[in-house]
Amino acid sequence: MKKIMLFLLLVSSTYAESPKTYLGASFGYLNENFTNADAQASMNSMKFKAGYGERKAYAVEFSLDYAQSKAKIFSSSNNVSSDGDRYGLNIDIVKGFDFDVYVLPFVKAGFGAGRMRVDRELQDKLSYGAFSVGAGFLIPINEHFDLEVVCDYKKTSYEKINLISSQIRYESNLNVLYFGFNTRF
Amino acid sequence: MKLLTNAFLTFGTLFFAACGENTTNTVAPDVNAVEINSSDIIMYSTDGNLSVRAFATYTDSAREDVTNFVDWASSNSSVASSSVGVISANANGGETNVIVNYSNFSDQMNVKVIKLTSINYSVIDTNYTSAAQDINVSGNFENNDANITMNDNITWLSDGNSTIQESDSSRISIIIGDQQALLYGVMFGAVFSCHPISKELLSISYSDVNVSDLENNQTIYIYGNYENNETNATLIHNILWTWDANSTIEEANSTAIALKIHNVPTTITATIFPGTDCAKDFNQTWQ
């Protein structure tokens, strides 16, 4: 613990004042419910992000998320037990607040797009788009480091699945709870 | 702030309580197969277009018509082609496979086109030249099917000595002329058959010939013997004359020939409709 604190102090001293750029990593759990099908998926998720802005004001965040699906909703092949990896790229606007307590709550809104691997006769991947809103709080460790807890809600719309003479579009509501760590410089 | 923290923790707890379930049976249906809804087909070369459909079957046991969405092809389009489920013969006889494709899915069926071997023509009055008469036609095919109505792929032409007023594959409305006329059936861009439609020439008669008068031109008058006992009539045919080494025809018209005999026996040949499938030879030998 002492080593960690010394490391944080060392890094903190590198950046003099008013850090606005930050990088972060989060680990979370997502739960997805489809609105036009009786289907549900739950899985772990990872997110890497880069942002610019102040903790107590506005910031813009770009993030790349990854999840390994454990549900088999789209894949029809008997060779797989679940749908495949899903990658997403998101952009969010974050508004932070300072209520003069130890944590800094924030809200966020944004949109994103991604792609999920599937094993179907006519498609091996499905793209999706999503609008998201979220809320959470930062736990500042010092000027350059903070912990983050955030809950996102995403309205997701998948690429239509091809049935030759017709196409079906699936939509879902997706909730993600992330725990993360940010470094600011 | 306390309220915000409590709300967040409550929401998080509810979220995790709801987590953990995963659907393991595929919800989104997928395509199982694409199939043509017909077994192998046999068609006459004079049939019109035939229609078949393509269907997709799905993992949820549904079945949908995908005729308009799949690619249609023929392994030998010179025999028969297929387009959006419509199969058309392109030749008088042959075999091909009609294939549907969509991504990795494929199905095919065999199409056999039966060859037309001959045509039956109804009889008309060859002396009636003032108005149109109908000739009804039917086909005989290589599989021994006879008198089959022809629906498509055959058109009709006349040689100028008659006038076709209107026609389809099974009927010709025609005004015949005074001259011997030919009717041509055209299939897939080529003449399939010709048919004489005026009175039939049975034989040719010649005036007397002096076989001992060698190396001198002799004028020999010619007459036609037609059906309906019309004998010694003026020939209504254009004739191609040929001869052997023992004589020479110096001149010819529709009523006479100028013949020079070198030796006997000698044979001359009159060919009507030369160069057509209706060509017919009439030989005459003098001893």
Domains B31-114 and B201-286 share a fold: yes
Integer CA distances (angstroms), B266 to A64, B238, B245, B271, in order? 104, 23, 8, 17
Does residue A175 belong to any structural domain of this protein? yes
Cβ-defined contact of A165 to B4 (cutoff 8 Å): no
Cα distance between residue B74 and residue A158, in whole Å: 37
Whether the per-residue pLDDT at B142 is higher than 70: the answer is yes
Neighbours of B259 (CB within 10 A): 25
- pLDDT band, very low/low/confident/very high, at A11 (cuts 50, 70, 90): low
Cβ-defined contact of B8 to A40 (cutoff 8 Å): no
Cα distance between residue B177 and residue B198, in whole Å: 8
Q: Which residues of A touch B (CB under 8 A)?
A: 29, 31, 34, 37-43, 70-76, 81-82, 99, 101, 103, 105, 120-122, 135-137, 149, 151, 161, 163-166, 168, 170, 175, 177
Does residue A7 belong to any structural domain of this protein? no
- B125 Cβ under 8 Å from any chain A Cβ: no
What is the predicted pLDDT for the residue at B122? 92
Whether the per-residue pLDDT at B192 is higher than 60: the answer is yes
- B275 Cβ under 8 Å from any chain A Cβ: no
- pLDDT band, very low/low/confident/very high, at B9 (cuts 50, 70, 90): low
Does residue A114 belong to any structural domain of this protein? yes
- What is B31-114's CATH number, 2.60.40.1080, 3.40.50.720, 3.40.640.10, 1.10.3210.10? 2.60.40.1080
The boundaries of the domain holding residue A157 are 19-184
Cβ-defined contact of A71 to B70 (cutoff 8 Å): no
Whether the per-residue pLDDT at B160 is higher than 80: the answer is no
Which positions in chain B touch A73 (Cβ < 8 Å)?
23, 26-28
Give the mean pLDDT of A110-136: 95
More confident residue, A155 or B26: A155
Does residue A12 belong to any structural domain of this protein? no
Cβ-defined contact of B64 to A161 (cutoff 8 Å): no
Cβ-defined contact of B31 to A122 (cutoff 8 Å): yes
Does residue A4 belong to any structural domain of this protein? no
**Radius of gyration from C-alpha coordinates of chain B:** 36
Q: Which residues are B285's β-sheet partners?
A: B267
For chain B, the domains span 31-114, 116-196, 201-286
Cβ-defined contact of B26 to A73 (cutoff 8 Å): yes
Cα distance between residue B128 and residue A127, in whole Å: 78
Cα distance between residue B235 and residue B121, in whole Å: 24
What is the predicted pLDDT for the residue at A22? 92
Cα distance between residue B56 and residue B62, in whole Å: 8
d(CA A9, nearest CA chain B) in Å: 29
Which positions in chain B touch A151 (Cβ < 8 Å)?
8, 11-12, 15
- Per DSSP bridges, beta strands B230-233 and B217-226 are antiparallel
Cα distance between residue B75 and residue B79, in whole Å: 9
Classify domain B201-286 at the CATH topology level: Immunoglobulin-like (2.60.40)
Does residue A81 belong to any structural domain of this protein? yes
Whether the per-residue pLDDT at B172 is higher than 60: the answer is yes
Chain B residue with minimum CA distance to A44: B20
d(CA A4, nearest CA chain B) in Å: 28
Give every CB contact of residue B218 below 8 A, 6+ residues apart in sequence. B209, B210, B258, B259, B260, B261
- B54 Cβ under 8 Å from any chain A Cβ: no
What is the predicted pLDDT for the residue at B12? 56
Give the mean pLDDT of B110-115: 97
- pLDDT band, very low/low/confident/very high, at A17 (cuts 50, 70, 90): low
- pLDDT band, very low/low/confident/very high, at A18 (cuts 50, 70, 90): low
Mean pLDDT, rounded, of chain B: 88
Mean pLDDT, rounded, of chain A: 89
More confident residue, A185 or A164: A164
Select the residue of B23, B58, B70 nearest A39 (Cβ to Cβ): B23
Whether the per-residue pLDDT at A62 is higher than 60: the answer is yes
CA dihedral sign, ordered B196, B199, B203, B207 = negative
Cα distance between residue A108 and residue A47, in whole Å: 15
What is the predicted pLDDT for the residue at B285? 94
Q: What is the pLDDT of residues A30-48, one digit of tens each?
A: 999 999 888 999 999 999 9
What is the predicted pLDDT for the residue at A27? 94
d(CA B39, nearest CA chain A) in Å: 22
Q: Taking CB atoms and an 8 Å cut-off, how many pairs form between chains A and B?
A: 106
Cα distance between residue B38 and residue B114, in whole Å: 18
Give the mean pLDDT of B222-232: 86
Cβ-defined contact of B22 to A29 (cutoff 8 Å): no
Q: What is the pLDDT of residues B48-91, one digit of tens each?
A: 899 999 999 999 999 999 999 999 999 999 999 999 999 999 99
Does residue A9 belong to any structural domain of this protein? no
- Mean pLDDT check: name the lowest of A64-68, A88-92, A157-161, B25-29: B25-29
DSSP characters over A83-127: --EEEEEEEEEEEE---SSSSEEEEEEEEEEEEEE---SS-SEEE
What is the predicted pLDDT for the residue at B253? 85
What is the predicted pLDDT for the residue at B207? 93
Select the residue of B25, B28, B64 nearest A161 (Cβ to Cβ): B28
Q: What is the pLDDT of residues B243-273, one digit of tens each?
A: 999 999 999 988 899 999 999 999 999 998 8
d(CA B51, nearest CA chain A) in Å: 19
Whether the per-residue pLDDT at B198 is higher than 70: the answer is yes
Whether the per-residue pLDDT at A23 is higher than 90: the answer is yes
Give the mean pLDDT of A68-74: 91
Task: Provide the number of structural domains found in chain A.
Answer: 1
How would you label B78-92 residue by residue, b for 16+ Cβ within 10 Å and e otherwise?
A: ebbbbeebebbbbbb
- B12 Cβ under 8 Å from any chain A Cβ: yes
Does residue A86 belong to any structural domain of this protein? yes
What is the predicted pLDDT for the residue at B46? 95
What is the predicted pLDDT for the residue at B230? 83
DSSP characters over chain B: -HHHHHHHHHHHHHHHHH------S--S--EEEEEESS--EEEETT---EE--EEEEETTS-EEE-TTTSEEEETTTTTEEEETTEEEE-SSSEEEEEEEEETTEEEEEEEEEEPEEEEEE----TT--SS-EEEEEEEEETTS--SBPP-SSEEEEE-SSEEEEEEETTEEEEEE-SS--EEEEEETTEEEEEEE-SPPEEEEEE----TT-TTSEEEEEEEEEETTTEEEEPP-S-EEEEE-TTEEEEEE-SSEEEEEE-SSSEEEEEEESTTSTT-EEEEEEE-
Percent of chain B scoring above 90 in pLDDT: 62
Which positions in chain A touch B58 (Cβ < 8 Å)?
163
- Per DSSP bridges, beta strands B190-196 and B162-168 are unpaired
Q: Which site among A164, A166, A167, A178 would you substitute to test the B interface, given the most B Cβ atoms closer than 10 Å to its Cβ?
A: A164
Q: Which residues are B146's β-sheet partners?
A: none
Q: What is the dihedral of CA A136, A137, A143, A146, to 10 degrees?
A: -70
What is the predicted pLDDT for the residue at B130? 85
Q: Which site among A165, A171, A174, A177 would you substitute to test the B interface, given the most B Cβ atoms closer than 10 Å to its Cβ?
A: A165
Give the mean pLDDT of A88-101: 92
Whether the per-residue pLDDT at B190 is higher than 90: the answer is no
What is the predicted pLDDT for the residue at B162? 87
Output the six-digit token pair for A150. 């955030």
